[in-house]
């Protein structure tokens, strides 16, 4: 399943697709699991439009457990050692009020300064309208290193001298992102069909969930602490 090209793509681009790689019936089953899961037991964000079910593989849904096993085998092949996820997140997004800046702005971020690698299953079709993930390619490596030392991009110097070490990398303002785009970086929308899988090094690439405008987005994500 993991071939040399996939390894090369991840090493170079920090993400890659495995198209049409998971069974449609199992995807439908996962979709029902997310829909049927009580909101009261889920984490609800963005004014109730986002439903997050953490440790989703602990609720006995066989389609989710199957996917986690499949995902583990992919990542274990990449890392050449047996890997299990730190967490498994099943989530859905409904449309947000697009004029409400609190729901649509401030979404760009790096996930972490240490390693974090995610395997995403497109539980249903994902489009530019229903809240696809967007990444900014080539924001890893030297780019990220420079931004760590650029005052007030990820950190302000005051973060170093006081105890208020807010994780500035978890919310990079839209105006800072616009400057990066103005300098020639391009956003990439990770759209796809039900059953597609995307592997992303989310600690290395600036990314966000774009605001859902219509329809509903369903995703399953396995989180790993290591990446090639
Ligand atoms: Fe993220």
Q: For 70-85, what is each residue's pLDDT tens digit?
A: 999 999 999 999 999 9
The proportion of the chain whose per-residue pLDDT surpasses 70, expressed as a percent, equals 93
pLDDT tens, residue by residue, 169-182? 668 889 999 999 99
Whole-number pLDDT of residue 169: 61
CA angle 172, 176, 177 (to 5 degrees): 80
pLDDT at 149 over 90: no
The Å distance, Cα 118 to ligand 1 centre, comes to 9
pLDDT tens, residue by residue, 46-63? 889 999 999 999 999 999
Whole-number pLDDT of residue 143: 87
| Domains of the chain: total | 1
The Å distance, Cα 207 to ligand 1 centre, comes to 6
The Å distance, Cα 37 to ligand 1 centre, comes to 23
For residue 204, what is the domain's CATH number? 2.60.120.620
pLDDT tens, residue by residue, 210-224? 999 999 999 999 999
Three-class DSSP category at 188: strand
pLDDT at 166 over 60: no
The Å distance, Cα 173 to ligand 1 centre, comes to 14
Residues 6+ apart with CB under 8 A from 149: none
Residues 6+ apart with CB under 8 A from 75: 83, 117, 119, 222, 224, 226
Residues by chain with Cβ below 5 Å of ion ligand 1: 111, 202
- Mean pLDDT (the chain, rounded): 91
CA angle 203, 204, 208 (to 5 degrees): 70
pLDDT tens, residue by residue, 92-118? 999 999 999 988 998 999 988 778 999
Element spanning 189, H or E? strand 188-190
* C-alpha to C-alpha distance for 8 and 20, rounded to whole angstroms: 20
* C-alpha to C-alpha distance for 143 and 163, rounded to whole angstroms: 26
Write out the two tokens for 143: 């780019």
> DSSP character for 35?
H
The proportion of the chain whose per-residue pLDDT surpasses 90, expressed as a percent, equals 78
The Å distance, Cα 227 to ligand 1 centre, comes to 16
The Å distance, Cα 63 to ligand 1 centre, comes to 24
pLDDT band at 161 (very low <50, low <70, confident <90, very high): low
**CB-CB contact of 226 with 79 (8 Å):** yes
Q: Is 19 exposed, middle or buried (0-12, 13-18, 19+ CB in 10 A)?
A: exposed
The Å distance, Cα 2 to ligand 1 centre, comes to 24
Whole-number pLDDT of residue 167: 53
Whole-number pLDDT of residue 94: 97
Three-class DSSP category at 119: strand
User: In terms of residue numbers, what domain contains 139?
Assistant: 4-224
Whole-angstrom CA distances from 188 to 139, 177, 202 are 12, 13, 14
The Å distance, Cα 203 to ligand 1 centre, comes to 8
């Amino acid at each position: 399943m993991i071939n040399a090209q996939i390894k090369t793509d991840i090493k170079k681009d920090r993400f890659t697709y495995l198209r049409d790689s998971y069974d449609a019936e199992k995807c439908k089953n996962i979709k029902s699991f997310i829909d049927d899961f009580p909101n009261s037991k889920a984490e609800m964000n963005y004014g109730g439009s986002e439903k997050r079910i953490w440790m989703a593989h602990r609720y006995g849904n066989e389609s989710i457990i199957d996917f986690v096993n499949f995902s583990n085998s992919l990542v274990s092949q990449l890392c050449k050692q047996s890997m299990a996820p730190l967490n498994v997140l099943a989530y859905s997004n409904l449309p947000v009020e697009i004029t409400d800046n609190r729901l649509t702005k401030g979404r760009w971020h790096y996930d972490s300064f240490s390693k974090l690698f995610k395997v995403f299953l497109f539980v249903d079709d994902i489009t530019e309208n229903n809240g696809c993930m967007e990444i900014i390619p080539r924001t890893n490596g030297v780019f990220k290193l420079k931004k760590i030392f650029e005052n007030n991009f990820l950190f302000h110097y005051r973060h170093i001298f006081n105890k208020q070490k807010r994780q500035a990398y978890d919310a990079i303002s839209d105006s800072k992102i616009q400057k990066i785009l103005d300098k020639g970086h391009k956003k990439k929308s990770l759209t796809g069909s039900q059953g597609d899988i995307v592997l992303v090094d989310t600690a290395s690439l600036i990314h966000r969930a774009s605001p859902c405008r219509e329809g509903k987005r369903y995703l399953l994500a396995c989180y790993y602490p290591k990446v090639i």
